[in-house]
Amino acid sequence: MLLVYTDEALLPGLMTPEAFEQFEELGRELAAQGRLQMTAGLAPVETATTVRLRDGHAVVTDGPFAETREQLGGFSLAVFDREEDALAVAARVPTAVAGCVEVRPVVDFPAQ
């Protein structure tokens, strides 16, 4: 899984027509290779709601889980045979110039 983090304040300057095309091209390439399972951008962080279970009760808080400069802005679920392949794709995400792309394996839990 590729988790894309960016400082939302910088997004207007980052999301140029060229960056959109780079995202689209990367998605088309991964889809053509049969790697891409799904990809999506997320609504701005101020729309987030966080739920925590405390003493058996749900505590609902407006805002994201953590207050950081870089927020989770999108993700791609893709299948790679090697970590090196996932890292190479992550290095092509255009918004990584002002944030980062976290590459994390997905755990497949066995059915009960």
Residue 82: give its domain's CATH number: 3.30.70.1060
Digit-coded pLDDT (tens) for 15-31: 889 999 999 999 999 99
Six-digit token string for 43: 């609504």
pLDDT score recorded for residue 37:
96
Q: How many domains are there within the chain? A: 1
Does residue 109 fall inside a structural domain? no
pLDDT score recorded for residue 83:
96
Residue 38's contacts (CB-CB under 8 Å, 6 or more residues apart) are 76, 77
| 82: containing domain | 2-103
Digit-coded pLDDT (tens) for 56-102: 999 999 876 666 778 899 999 999 999 999 999 999 999 888 899 99
Does residue 108 fall inside a structural domain? no
Does residue 70 fall inside a structural domain? yes
Does residue 34 fall inside a structural domain? yes
Does residue 29 fall inside a structural domain? yes
| pTM assigned to the model | 0.85
Residue 9: pLDDT band by 50, 70, 90 thresholds?
Answer: confident
Does residue 46 fall inside a structural domain? yes
